[in-house]
């Protein structure tokens, strides 16, 4: 099972990965072999089988709300910013081609 190069290029774009054509060519082969292995799953009859059925016990859902963070933790988070302006995170512009 071999993917075509166009498809691998499209995948790299979706995954936000920039790879050279040589790398993509190599990956095309590797991905094909791995996908071929896992294709065995399609031979199993799963008609009427639910997607989850587990005996895992979990905590019930909770409200999605902010909880306080101590000053030390806050400072570490800020110090991990790749670029900052004071306490704000500086990011590249989202709109690259403003309408003239």
Partner 1 sequence: MDFLNQTIASAHLGLERGDFSSVELTQAYLKQIHGLNATFNAYLTVLDESALEAAKQSDVRRAADQSLGSLDGIPLAVKDNILIQNTRTTAGSKILENYIAPNDATVIRKLRDGGAVFLGKTNMDEFALGSSTENSAYGPTKHPRDLDRVPGGTSGGSACAVAADLCVAALGSDTGGSIRQPAAFCGIIGLKPTYGRVSRSGLMAAASSFDQIGSLTKTVKDAEILFSAIHGCDPLDQTTAPNQPFRMDYPKKIDGLRIGLPKQAWGEGMTDGVRTHVMEGIKILEALGAQIVEVSLPYMDEALAVYYVLNFCEVSANLSRFDGMRFGLREKAASLMETYMQSRTQGFGPEVRRRIMLGTYALSKGYYDAYYRQARKVRTLIHRAYAEVFKTVDVLITPTAPSTAFKIGEKISDPLTLYLEDIFTVGVNVVGIPALSISCGDHEGLPVGMQIMGKMFDEGKILDIAYAFEQATKI
Site map 1..40 versus partner 1, x via CB under 8 A: --x----x--xx-xxxxxx-------x--xx-xxx-xx-x
User: What are the residues whose beta carbons fall under 8 Å from the beta carbon of 8, sequence distance 6 or more?
Assistant: 24, 27, 28, 31
Termini Cα distance of the chain: 48
Kindly identify the residues of this chain, within the stretch 37-66, that bind partner 1 according to CB under 8 A: 37-38, 40-42, 44, 46, 49-59, 61-62
What distances in angstroms separate CA 34 from CA 12, 30, 93, one per listed residue?
17, 6, 38
Residue ranges in contact with partner 1 by CB under 8 A? 3, 8, 11-12, 14-19, 27, 30-31, 33-35, 37-38, 40-42, 44, 46, 49-59, 61-62, 72-73, 76-77, 79-83, 89, 91-94, 96
């Amino acid at each position: 099972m071999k993917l075509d190069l166009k498809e691998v290029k499209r995948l790299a774009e979706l995954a936000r990965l920039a790879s050279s054509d040589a790398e993509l060519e190599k990956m095309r082969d590797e991905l094909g072999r791995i996908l071929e292995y896992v294709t065995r799953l399609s031979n199993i009859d799963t008609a009427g089988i639910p997607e989850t059925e587990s005996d895992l016990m979990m905590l019930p859902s909770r409200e999605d709300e902010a909880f306080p963070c101590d000053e030390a933790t806050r400072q570490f988070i800020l110090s991990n910013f790749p670029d900052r302006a004071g306490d704000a995170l500086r990011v590249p512009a989202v709109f690259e081609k403003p309408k003239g």
